[in-house]
Structure 1
Amino acid sequence: MIAKSPEITVESHPLRHVDDYLEIGQKAGASDVHLAANARPRWRLHGRLEPIWPDAPRLTAEHTAALAEAFVPDVYKEELNTRGDSDFAYAN
């Protein structure tokens, strides 16, 4: 079964909270959602990593920082600031 990208207009990007992306991914059956600066929101669907919306604008550093600020635990925020990345799981 091929999942369809959700009907969300380009004007509504970026979404306000990481939970919004997770809900979309969960409804489509994605195992992962990837959000990174200078990249379109992506999901892992049926083992393939692909854009959720091929025509969505790339997330800026400011967008990803705002998303991260809302849900990343302080210990990982320190890692993000020090290393520039962090790898952890989050479930809403």
Structure 2
Amino acid sequence: MKKKQEFKLIEGEFTPQDAKEVLTNLYSSKINFHTMKNFSANERFGKNDEVAARKIPKLKESLAIISSIIQKADEKNKTLVITAIINVELIPVKK
């Protein structure tokens, strides 16, 4: 495997309804992942997972902004062009 690779997760034009479904599902999945990670840390260690606890509100804020953009597109009878790129890079393990 190359040291760094790029993958297109989302690329194209979407109706407001499709954009809402795709992006809401994506963000909800990430929020759920961090919520479960935080819950697990609380159960196992009695404290929050600091990274997850920081990311959840940021993801929720981003989703609210995206929802507002989608709503405006729907009101103006517009489509949305969405592109999401995933970059995967191998790095040394932090000790």
Higher Cα radius of gyration: 2
**Structure ranking higher in strand proportion:** 2
* Higher RCO structure, 1 or 2 (CA under 8 Å, sep 6+): 2
TM-score by length of 1: 0.25
